[in-house]
Amino acid sequence: MSTRMVLSIAFVLFVVLGMLVYVLFEGQRADYNILTSTEEYTHVGAQLFAANCAQCHGPEGEGAIGPALNRSEWHAGDKNYDQNAVFNFIRNVVKRGQHSPQPGITMPAWSKDFGGPLNDEEIERIIVFITQDDWHQPFHYTATPNFVANIPPNSVQKKQYPSTTAEVLAVKNPAKYGEANPTAEQKKALSDDAAADEKANGPAYQEAQQNTEKLRVLLGNADPAKPGEKLNGLKQLFQVKGCINCHAIGSVGTTLGPALTEVGSRRDAQWLNDWIKNPSLVKPENRGPNVMPWFKGNNRTEFWPMQPTIMPTIPMTDQERQRIVDYLANLKITDVALPQAGPATGN
């Protein structure tokens, strides 16, 4: 056999061997790329979930204001997992939003196509995170609690301590200013009278200033002009008990758990007392909304089970719990009629 033929055969074998090696390693590289892409999507998705979703659905997807998302059939390793069905379902809900039967609660549209803040890629990353069953990640991305801001007064405190000149005048002269349904003329009269009283440093203005101070001390909001002041108001109680390490009340706190700013519009005092006393004893069907999305109006036909809550039982006296409940139960959007508690209604 000639040298040329030997070299030709060797070259062909080298090419074939090279192709086999390429195919082998290209397959491994593709698998690696898929793996790293999923990990990266899960990582970023967890950050987006913590910033936008955990407050309603719980940091572990256990359900809170919104339904539980930590569902076995949504996990990529579950035998009943259908990626196309799950991705399409979650994508539609996230992009377009969803009605809720709870007062003041509606899942907003998150897609920029429907006026929301997220683009399609960000939504896809959230969906990948939800389906990867890696629910410890959002804890790493929760915002640092804001302890500096003031907690707001609730509806009872606002009525008890009217803290603007107009509010004082309206309380003292309800017939003159139209109470809850003032006419345009009455609104103008109230505005003009309040401006005149403030200009004259009048009695309504003075009372409003006094009420503002009483309310500040009652709530426990610090006065920057009094750095050495010692307060024992509601804010201190919420801070000592750790409530605002997880929840937001107005601008205070953080977004790990559901916002409490308007919690009285969806939870009554009895529910709040039972929950704070021992969250683990509140039945899943009474944690609401506990409901499958895409129902029409309030006609709910299928319910999703809530997952165990991560909220601990916080040691406190009955008096401390009552103070917290009295405050939270009256944090409302407006005075609303709450639905009756029951297995199929939630709160």
Q: What is the pLDDT of residues 301-318, one digit of tens each?
A: 456 778 889 899 999 999
As annotated, the residues of the chain forming the CATH 1.10.760.10 domain(s) are 26-141
Confidence of residue 338 (pLDDT cuts 50, 70, 90): very low
Nearest by Cα to 173 from 193, 153, 156, 155: 193
Residue 18 predicted with pLDDT over 50: yes
More confident residue, 234 or 38: 234
Residue 193 predicted with pLDDT over 60: yes
Q: Which CATH architecture has domain 26-141?
A: Orthogonal Bundle (1.10)
- Residues 327 and 7: their CA atoms lie apart, in Å, by 90
Residue 345 predicted with pLDDT over 50: no
- Residues 140 and 59: their CA atoms lie apart, in Å, by 10
pLDDT score, position 333 = 80
Residue 194 predicted with pLDDT over 90: yes
Structure tokens at 54: 């955990």
Confidence of residue 10 (pLDDT cuts 50, 70, 90): low
pLDDT score, position 38 = 67
- Residues 33 and 13: their CA atoms lie apart, in Å, by 30
Residue 271 predicted with pLDDT over 70: yes
Residue 201 predicted with pLDDT over 90: yes
- Residues 75 and 69: their CA atoms lie apart, in Å, by 10
pLDDT, mean of residues 209-235: 93
Transcribe 269-319 into DSSP letters: HHHHHHHHH-GGGS-GGGS---B-SS-BTTB---BPPPPPP-PPPPP--HH
pLDDT score, position 249 = 95
Residue 346 predicted with pLDDT over 80: no
pLDDT above 90 as % of the chain: 49
Q: Determine the 3-state secondary structure of 252 from DSSP.
A: strand
Nearest by Cα to 75 from 92, 94, 90: 90
Structure tokens at 227: 């750095």
Asked if 239 contacts 254 with a C-beta cutoff of 8 angstroms, the reply is no
- Integer CA distances (angstroms), 85 to 95, 98, 253, 268, in order: 15, 18, 37, 37
Residue 158 predicted with pLDDT over 70: yes
Burial 229-243 (b: 16+ CB within 10 A, else e): eebebbbebbbebeb
Structure tokens at 136: 């410890």
- Residues 304 and 343: their CA atoms lie apart, in Å, by 12
Asked if 198 contacts 165 with a C-beta cutoff of 8 angstroms, the reply is yes
The least confident of 241-255, 257-271, 328-342 is 328-342
Main-chain phi, psi angles of 45, to 5 degrees = -60, -35
pLDDT tens per residue, range 28-64: 444 434 444 667 777 889 999 998 999 888 899 998 8
| Helix/strand/coil (H/E/C) assignment for every residue in 152-200 | CCCHHHHHHCCCCHHHHHHHHCHHHHCCCCCCHHHHHHHHHHHHHHHHC
Transcribe 86-129 into DSSP letters: HHHHHHHHHHH-B--SSTT--BPP-BGGGT-SB-HHHHHHHHHH
